[in-house]
């Protein structure tokens, strides 16, 4: 082999080795790139799974909160319904007691009025017109000295009635609630008595007017005779 052929062969061998190195380097870069891509794909898959898990948990929490709100609203609605029923029952009971109290007061006033009428009629002068032996008429009012009670007698009867009606007030040992109830009871009694006083005052006015009319009628009849 000549020197030129030997040099050409060595040149071809060097070129082949360089090409091989280049190809191997390219292959390594490709493999590294593929490995990096696989790692990236794996990372992205893990991230997606993580995001999906977070979204799933978020949806579960949202659904759970929604159910809790619905249950709480249902519970509150039931409580409101119970409270409304309780308030209505209390209001009905209050109205019932109020009606009973008003009825009791009316009956008490009627009873007092009846008792007063009976006492007044029992002590009332009898204005019946009678005839004298000579035929002249007179009224029992002309004999009021015989039927009218003295001032002392009226005062004594008044004191007796007051002593009978007014009972001693014993509040020793009462607590705050008992004192409050007793105060309310006395207040109601005062209101009833004021109503009785007004009714009796009106009745007295009418009776006084009737007595005056009877007296004028009797006087007029006597004068005509």
Residue 2 belongs to a domain: no
Instruction: Please check whether residue 102 is in contact with residue 88, taking contact to mean a CB–CB distance below 8 angstroms.
Output: no
Residue 33 belongs to a domain: yes
Residue 170 belongs to a domain: no
Residue 167 belongs to a domain: no
How confident is the model over 108-135, as pLDDT tens digits? 888 887 877 777 665 544 444 444 444 4
Per-residue pLDDT, 145: 46
Domain termination residue (choose one: 96, 119, 149): 96
Alpha-carbon distance of 203 to 205, in angstroms, equals 5
Helices 3-123 and 176-224: angle between axes, nearest 10 degrees? 40
Q: How many domains does the chain have?
A: 2
How confident is the model over 204-222, as pLDDT tens digits? 888 888 888 888 888 777 7
User: According to the per-residue pLDDT averaged within each range, which of 6-20, 48-62, 117-131, 181-195 is highest?
Assistant: 48-62
Residue 211 belongs to a domain: yes
Average pLDDT over residues 178-200: 85
- Long-range pairs, 62-69, Cβ under 8 A, ≥24: none
Token reading at 142: 């002309």
Per-residue pLDDT, 121: 65
Confidence check: pLDDT of 137 > 50: no
Using DSSP's 3-state secondary structure scheme, residue 173 falls into coil
Structural domain boundaries, residue 212: 178-225
Residue 106 belongs to a domain: no
Residue 200 belongs to a domain: yes
Domain termination residue (choose one: 96, 117, 152): 96
Residue 91 belongs to a domain: yes
Domain termination residue (choose one: 63, 80, 96): 96
Alpha-carbon distance of 6 to 12, in angstroms, equals 10
């Amino acid at each position: 082999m000549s020197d030129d052929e030997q040099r050409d062969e060595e040149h071809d061998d060097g070129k082949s080795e360089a090409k091989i190195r280049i190809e191997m380097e390219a292959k390594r870069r490709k493999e590294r790139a593929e490995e990096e891509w696989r790692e990236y794909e794996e990372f992205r898959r893990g991230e997606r799974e993580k995001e999906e898990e977070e979204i799933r948990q978020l949806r579960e929490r949202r659904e759970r909160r929604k159910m809790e709100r619905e249950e709480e609203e249902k519970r509150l609605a039931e409580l409101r319904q119970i409270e409304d029923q309780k308030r209505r029952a209390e209001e009905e009971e209050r109205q019932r007691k109020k009606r009973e109290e008003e009825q009791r007061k009316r009956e008490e006033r009627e009873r007092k009025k009846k008792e007063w009428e009976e006492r007044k009629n029992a002590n009332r002068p009898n204005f019946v017109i009678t005839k004298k032996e000579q035929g002249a008429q007179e009224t029992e009012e002309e004999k009021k000295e015989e039927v009218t009670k003295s001032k002392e007698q009226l005062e004594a009867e008044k004191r007796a009635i007051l002593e009978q009606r007014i009972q001693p007030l014993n509040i020793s040992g009462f607590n705050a609630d008992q004192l409050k109830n007793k105060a309310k009871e006395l207040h109601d009694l005062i209101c009833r008595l004021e109503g009785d006083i007004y009714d009796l005052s009106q009745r007295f006015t009418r009776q006084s007017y009737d007595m005056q009319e009877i007296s004028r009628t009797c006087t007029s009849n006597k004068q005509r005779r």
